[in-house]
Amino acid sequence: MKETVKTSRTAGYLEKIFRALNAKYFDNELEEPIITIQSTPKAYAHVTIGKAWQRGDTTRRELNIGAGTLDRSIFEIVASELHECIHIYNMQRGIQDCSRGGQYHNKKFKAAAEARDLKIGYNPRIGWSITEPTEALCEFVLEQGWDDIRMNRIEGGYTTRGKGTGNTTGKPTGGSSPNTHSIKYVCPCCGNSVRATKAVHILCMDCNKPMRAQ
């Protein structure tokens, strides 16, 4: 992705990712949401339960990626977007995968997510929601040639004029604090490993083999 400070270009990039995930993991059965980039305190992303956007007679859900979490690796961004795609998939089929106001993710969510190349961990507050990309998903990202987004909203480091309130009915994802992840690359032959903070192509000079993202 070409470096940019335009959120419209970033939203278009996320739409492209959504369509690729829809084709690979859902046979293009997902209704396409409106992709937004807004602040999501304590969450990487959310999707609205109801169809929050309308144009004429057409209504769509909102799938939001947290503006303050865009500087994560592209693997983690894709994992968050796929997480929300699974919510859409379940909602379209009338499967209740969350409770407690959309916060607690149950085993129905876990099963659907793990069937689609996500690694799901448990937290007592948010249930089976902690989301990581599996090696298979990382390989898919590399095959697509997707790059890190390279822009991010600085959360809490500025002041604004005027006040406003708002409310979004959605299902935010759970997980660890933003901006703390790196990607581990391992040589499949000798086991040498390195870490990087973005998607890269690394060759093990001892074995002359590409190192794989873990």
Do 140 and 168 lie in a common domain?
Answer: yes
Residues 193 and 210 in one domain: yes
For residues 141 and 213, membership in a common domain is answered with no
Q: Is residue 179 very low, low, confident or very high in pLDDT (cuts 50, 70, 90)? A: very low
Q: What is the pLDDT of residues 68-100, one digit of tens each?
A: 999 999 999 999 999 999 999 999 999 999 998
pLDDT of residue 2: 55
Sort residue 124 into left (φ over 0), alpha (ψ -120 to 50) or beta: alpha
pLDDT value of residue 176: 34
Q: Name the 3-class secondary structure at 211.
A: coil
The reply to whether 133 and 199 lie within a common domain is: no
CB–CB of 173/43 below 8 Å?
Answer: yes
Q: Are strands 62-66 and 45-47 parallel, antiparallel or unpaired?
A: antiparallel
Asked if residue 1 is part of any domain, the answer here is no
Q: Which amino acid is at 63?
A: L
pLDDT at 3 over 70: no
Residues 36 and 138 in one domain: yes
pTM, rounded to two decimals: 0.74
- Cα radius of gyration rounded to whole Å, the chain: 18
Asked if 92 and 103 sit in the same domain, the reply is yes
- Same domain? 79 vs 141: yes
Please check whether residues 202 and 128 belong to one and the same domain. Answer: no
